Every structure is written in structure tokens, then in C-alpha cells.
């Protein structure tokens, strides 16, 4: 890890270690350079490229969970038409991902890395986005507190028919804590 392009003569997103060009906000992103130390007044700056990619992943996961779950919806929110050629941006990202602009995306490791690569190519240009290595994308994923493990969100199935003694076990646990806190108090 520990790769930084900070303040080099790269494209703005790369030299900020913020390849997604996330705009400055009050979000307390991990790895974020505080406003008073930041040299950019519009976009976030991060100490290392992996922290900037991680922030991008988190931002996209939040957007997907809120219903912006297609390339078209994400890019329209992320790159509004008053600042960008949004239609071209959507086409470029969908094409780079090899999917239609209205395909529903899931927030897993493979999709997020693929989306990041496509969006960073548009944001930075192919010459600069090529400087971000696969290891940088992987490191950023590992910085996600390992909450998504191998890349797939966990599936949890609880079936009452498969747990014949669950009620008894929960009762014993509840009685234990009731007794413990009654005696301690």
C-alpha cells in the first residue's frame, strides 16, 4: 500500500489521491487530509490513493443502497449535466464495463472495482487512470474494514425449522443475563 500521487504534476484527481474527484464535504473520510492542510479548495484530498479509492467505494455503495443502482442513475447523480456531458459520461462508463446503462448493479467487490476503473478513466483520462494499479484497488477494498470479506455481501438465512432448540437456547441466555444484572446491580 502507501502509494501517493499527492501534489505531483498529475491530473487533479490523481494528485489529490482522489481519482473519483469527490467534492469537499464535512464527511470524515478515513485517510482524508483535513481542510486546513488541504491544498485544493474544491475536491477532497487523501493521504494515499487507496484511501481515495475507498472513499469512492463507500460513496458508490451508499448511492446504490439509496436506489441509484445503474450506471445511468449513478453518473447522472455523480456528474450532473450542468458540469458535464452526462450522456457521453454514461456511455463511456457503460461501454468500459461492457454492460447496458440501465443494468442493475450490486455492491460487491468485482462490480465496484470495475465501476471505479471505468469512472476513473473518464474522470482522469486513460493516461492517468492507468497509473492506478490493481493492487491499489485491492488495498482500498481491504481498507473497507473487511466488512464485505471476499467481495460478496453475506447472505443470512434463519429457519425456525432448522433450529429446533433455538427458543430454549435464547431463553437460557436471557435468564443468564437477567440473573447476572440482577445480582450485580
Q: State how many domains the chain has.
A: 1
Instruction: Tell me, yes or no, whether 45 lies in a domain.
Output: yes
Instruction: Tell me, yes or no, whether 50 lies in a domain.
Output: yes
- pLDDT 10s digit of each residue in the chain, 185 long? 579 988 778 899 999 999 999 999 999 999 999 999 999 999 999 999 999 999 999 999 999 999 999 999 999 998 888 888 999 999 999 999 999 999 999 999 999 999 999 999 999 999 999 999 999 999 999 998 755 444 444 444 445 555 666 667 777 777 776 676 676 65
Widest CA span in the chain: 68
Three-state SS at 52 = helix
Instruction: Tell me, yes or no, whether 142 lies in a domain.
Output: yes
Instruction: Tell me, yes or no, whether 102 lies in a domain.
Output: yes
Instruction: Tell me, yes or no, whether 46 lies in a domain.
Output: yes
Instruction: Give the domain range for residue 49.
Output: 12-157
Instruction: Tell me, yes or no, whether 174 lies in a domain.
Output: no
Global pTM reads 0.77
Instruction: Tell me, yes or no, whether 97 lies in a domain.
Output: yes
- Residue 182 host element (H or E): helix 166-184
Amino acid at each position: 500500500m502507501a502509494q501517493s500521487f499527492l501534489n505531483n504534476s498529475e491530473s487533479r484527481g490523481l494528485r489529490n489521491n482522489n481519482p473519483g474527484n469527490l467534492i469537499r464535504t464535512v464527511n470524515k473520510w478515513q485517510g482524508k487530509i483535513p481542510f486546513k492542510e488541504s491544498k485544493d479548495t474544491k475536491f477532497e484530498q487523501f493521504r494515499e490513493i487507496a484511501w481515495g479509492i475507498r472513499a469512492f467505494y463507500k460513496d458508490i455503495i451508499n448511492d446504490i443502497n439509496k436506489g441509484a443502482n445503474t450506471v445511468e442513475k449513478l453518473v447522472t447523480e455523480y456528474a450532473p449535466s450542468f458540469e458535464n456531458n452526462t450522456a457521453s459520461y454514461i456511455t463511456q462508463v457503460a461501454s468500459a464495463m461492457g454492460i447496458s446503462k440501465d443494468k442493475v448493479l450490486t455492491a460487491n467487490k468485482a462490480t465496484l472495482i470495475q465501476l471505479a476503473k471505468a469512472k476513473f478513466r473518464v474522470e482522469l483520462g486513460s493516461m492517468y487512470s492507468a497509473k492506478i494499479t490493481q493492487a491499489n484497488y485491492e488495498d482500498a477494498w481491504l481498507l473497507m474494514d473487511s466488512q464485505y470479506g471476499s467481495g460478496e455481501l453475506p447472505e443470512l438465512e434463519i429457519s425456525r425449522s432448522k433450529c429446533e432448540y433455538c427458543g430454549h437456547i435464547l431463553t437460557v441466555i436471557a435468564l443468564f443475563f437477567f440473573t447476572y444484572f440482577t445480582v450485580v446491580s
